[in-house]
Amino acid sequence: MAVDETQFHVLAVDDSVIDRKLIERLLKTSSFQVTTVDSGSKALEFLGLNDGNDNDEDVGVNLIITDYCMPGMTGYDLLRRIKKSSCLRDIPVVIMSSENIPSRINRCLEDGAQDFFLKPLQLSDVNKLRPHLMRT
């Protein structure tokens, strides 16, 4: 049975409008449905976690890709909140950063990130998302 990739919905979180547009274009080129937000707090709001409560509704997101360095809430903080949520913890989270800091990368992966990409995001990185999406 073939999987229809247009059913995959990715939430992209990045404070840079240029990076958000790039991510959105790459994901849409690969036939993903994309929602973009510019902060971790807006991502939590979209996911229904902004009030500190665990959302038990299906948010319809198959994967979250987030920048690490953002004002207010980092991508790492967002990852931690998602992984603490009983209904969202199974959504794969991919972190991206323009800084190649091994200790940061390891900490993200140890705390539940599925992958860590260096920015700028490339089409080859988007292709690496497919196995994570197939698990959801």
Domain positions in the chain are: 9-134
Q: Give 97: exposed, middle or buried? Use CB within 10 Å, 0-12, 13-18, 19+.
A: buried
- Going residue by residue through the chain, which has 136 residues, state the pLDDT in tens, using 9 for 90 and above: 344 445 799 999 999 999 999 999 999 998 899 999 999 999 999 999 876 566 556 678 999 999 999 999 999 999 999 999 988 999 999 999 999 999 999 999 999 999 999 999 999 999 999 887 776 5
Q: Report domain 9-134's class.
A: alpha beta
